[in-house]
Chain A
Amino acid sequence: SSELTQDPAVSVALGQTVIITCQGDGLRSHYPGWYQQRPGQSPVLVVYGNNIRPSGTPDRFSGSSYGNRASLTITGAQAEDEADYYCNCRGGSDNHHVFGTGTKVTVL
């Protein structure tokens, strides 16, 4: 299957740790990208490859992968981390890429 599945929503207390997961066959062979999308804004790449953070991404964001699952961890969540998060990865018969179903993170 070319789909990437994510939990629809998770919540985290301010300053605590939250893990966002992404599952799909393409993850067995390729690292995902992780994107943060705040309400009314365009997505922003926060982690890609083997836990690489673009400049500007706080170091509280980290990524990991194992088998057909990948995770984005926010260690010490802040109020500004409240957003939707999407993974993407290669998948499908023509090696196109797909996005995950998205996870809404609420910071309490």
Chain B
Amino acid sequence: QITLKESGPALVEPTQTLTLTCTFSGFSLNTPGVGVGWIRQPPGKALESLALIYWDDDKRYGPSLGGRVSITKDTSNNQVVLTLTNTGPVDTATYYCARSTYGYIYDSWGHGALVAVSS
């Protein structure tokens, strides 16, 4: 059974750095073709791709974040970490991590973590 779980702060102050951890089980990030990505969804809005890291450490970043985001993996602990710097109210969203196969197809998702950016 494949599971993914997002963890991190529920509240972040503006300008601070947001760090979220995805802990997964039921698959390995050493398997060719597999990746783990982060996707967010502001309240009442559409999904937005943030970052995706593949088994070979190839990384892809969404077009809208202007270099504020980074993604790393800890294969031995089955974790993927997302870092978002210089946060603002526009970063308030539910953040999902998901397993990627076939390059960009997300076939398993976590339940999501709601993060509010506010003072």
Report Cα–Cα, A99/B52, bound state, in Å.
Answer: 13
Report Cα–Cα, A97/B96, bound state, in Å.
Answer: 15
Contact of A49 with B by CB under 8 A: yes
Q: Is the CB of B102 within 8 A of A49?
A: yes
Report Cα–Cα, A102/B105, bound state, in Å.
Answer: 16
Known contacts A42-B111, A92-B63; is-contact A99 B105 (Cβ 8 Å)? no
Chain A contact residue count (CB 8 A cutoff):
27
Shortest distance between the CB of B51 and any CB in chain A (Å): 9
Q: Say which size band chain B's interface belongs to.
A: 20 to 34
Chain A positions within 8 Å of B, measured between CB atoms, are 2, 30, 33, 35, 37, 42-45, 48-49, 54, 86, 88-90, 92-102
Shortest distance between the CB of B59 and any CB in chain A (Å): 10
Instruction: Please indicate the chain A residues that have their CB under 8 angstroms from the CB of B105 in the complex.
Output: 33, 45, 48-49, 88
B14-22, B23-31, B41-49, B72-80: which one contacts chain A? Answer: B41-49
Q: Is the CB of B63 within 8 A of A54?
A: no
Instruction: Please indicate the chain A residues that have their CB under 8 angstroms from the CB of B112 in the complex.
Output: 42
Instruction: Please indicate the chain A residues that have their CB under 8 angstroms from the CB of B109 in the complex.
Output: 42-44
Known contacts A42-B110, A99-B47, A102-B46; is-contact A90 B103 (Cβ 8 Å)? yes
- Output the nearest chain B residue to A54 by Cβ-Cβ distance: B107
Report Cα–Cα, A99/B43, bound state, in Å.
Answer: 16
Shortest distance between the CB of A40 and any CB in chain B (Å): 10
Interface residues of B in 70-119 (CB under 8 A from A): 96, 98, 102-107, 109-112
Q: Is the CB of B46 within 8 A of A97?
A: no
